[in-house]
Amino acid sequence: MTVEIGYRTRHKPRANVRSDVAETMSTRDRILDASRQVFARLGYVGTSIEHIVTQCHVSRGTFYYYFKNKEDVFEQLVLALSKAWDGARAASDVSDPYLRIEAGNRSYLQMWAANPDILANLFQIAAIEPRFDELHREIRIRFIERIRRNLERELASGNCRQLDPVVASHAMGEMVDSFAYRWLALRSVEIDHSELEHVVSELSELWYHALYGGRPHEGGTHGEAP
- Range in 10-14, 49-53, 66-70, 189-193 the model is least confident about: 10-14
- 2: exposed, middle or buried (C-beta count within 10 Å: 0-12, 13-18, 19+)? exposed
pLDDT at site 96: 86
pLDDT tens column, 151-209: 999 999 998 999 999 999 999 999 999 999 999 988 999 999 899 999 999 999 999 99
What are the tens digits of pLDDT across the range 72-114? 999 999 998 888 777 666 555 677 889 989 998 998 899 889 9
DSSP class of residue 93 equals -
Query: Which residue segments constitute the domains of the chain, with CATH numbers given?
Result: 1-67 (1.10.10.60), 69-226 (1.10.357.10)
Q: In sequence order, what are the residues at sequence separation of 6 or more whose Cβ sits closer than 8 angstroms to the Cβ of residue 10?
A: 2, 3
